[in-house]
Amino acid sequence: MSDIAHTFSPVEFLEYDAQSQQTQQNDSRKRPILLLILNQPIEDVLVGTEKKNAFWQAWNYCAVCADGGANRLYDYLGIDEQRTLHVPDLVAGDFDSIRPGVREFYNSQRTVVEHDNDQVSTDFMKCVKFAKQHLAPEFDLIVFGGVGGRVDQSFYSFHHLFLSAFPARPATEEFKITGPLGAGSDDSRDTTRVDTQVYLVSSESVTFLIPEGGAARVRTPLAYLGPTCGLIPLAGPTHITTHGLEWDVSDWPTSFGSRLSTSNHLLHDFTEIETVGQPILFTIELRK
């Protein structure tokens, strides 16, 4: 396995201690974490032996609602007293889903409300754009509501992992044909480095991208994660090497239609993964 080139902490938000404002690792982050709420019902998911509520752990950070995600937060909180205590920092989108009363409520609070009717960019990307303007120029994302519900919407969330995680680079004819965003894409990405770490959190798992080139060291605390995990070659055929799983592989070819590493098991609080060829989707079960 190559030297470590990337590090990931997919459930740092669960390890966060609101009183000390530190994770259990006592690390100071180089950039902030933002919670992004999409238009799916918010569930109370209790994780780990301490039964931490995943959503409220993520709420310790700045919160952004994508259009109809504002409805979901408003309904989840239930009563005006809670809604006033827990307002998002930003609501953004084309506002084809947000209810008028919900929009009016957040306009009356300290929330920044940004309407953008551009039909080329999605509400997800609008939120990223306005968050960079109003909250922080760089950040990592915890996304609630991106996986689950309609299958096509889940795949579009995976698409957003590429758009958000990897920085744009000048397009070349070779990359436009073979790149992970699809043939003829004008939005080529440098998939060897991560611009923004994006974690999709569902009621069952946390999912994110491992870039190609160099090994990735992933913090996988068994108190909150596992045992099951999977490595999905969503971007195309690639070769993977792993260390720290029950069924480790070395320079192992994987692709749809051939072999997949699903239903594997975490064994340690750290896992190392290297993918050569394409980025790979790493999905890990939340321990309940």
**Ramachandran angles phi, psi of 130, nearest 5°:** -75, -30
Q: Confidence band (pLDDT; 50, 70, 90) for 94? A: very high
Q: Is it the case that residue 169 has pLDDT exceeding 90?
A: no
Q: Is it the case that residue 93 has pLDDT exceeding 90?
A: yes
User: Top-level CATH class of 1-15+204-287?
Assistant: mainly beta
* Structure confidence by residue, pLDDT tens digits, 114-163: 999 988 888 999 999 999 999 999 999 999 999 987 898 889 899 988 88
User: Top-level CATH class of 33-137?
Assistant: alpha beta
Q: Is it the case that residue 43 has pLDDT exceeding 70?
A: yes
Q: Given this model, what pLDDT does residue 171 score? A: 46
Q: Which of 2-6, 179-183, 205-209 has the lowest mean pLDDT?
A: 179-183
Q: Is it the case that residue 286 has pLDDT exceeding 60?
A: yes
Which helix (H) or strand (E) segment holds residue 74: the answer is: helix 69-77
β-pair type (90-93, 62-66): parallel
Q: Is it the case that residue 175 has pLDDT exceeding 60?
A: no
Rounded to whole angstroms, the Cα distance separating 270 from 24 reads 14
Where are the chain's structural domains? 1-15+204-287, 33-137
| Contacts (Cβ under 8 Å, ≥6 apart) of 64 | 34, 35, 36, 37, 88, 89, 90, 91, 92, 127, 131, 135
- With H, G, I as helix, E, B as strand and everything else as coil, classify residue 104: helix
Please report, as a single letter, which amino acid is at residue 30.
Answer: K
Mean pLDDT on 269-285: 96
Q: Given this model, what pLDDT does residue 20 score? A: 56
Domains 1-15+204-287 and 33-137 equal at CATH topology level: no
Q: Given this model, what pLDDT does residue 208 score? A: 96
Query: DSSP state, 3?
Result: P
The answer to whether the CB of 249 falls within 8 A of the CB of 273 is: no
Q: Given this model, what pLDDT does residue 17 score? A: 77
Helices (H), 99-258: 100-107, 123-134, 151-165, 173-178
How many percent of the chain have pLDDT more than 70? 86
Burial of 158: CB neighbours in 10 Å, binned 0-12, 13-18, 19+? middle
Q: Is it the case that residue 187 has pLDDT exceeding 60?
A: no
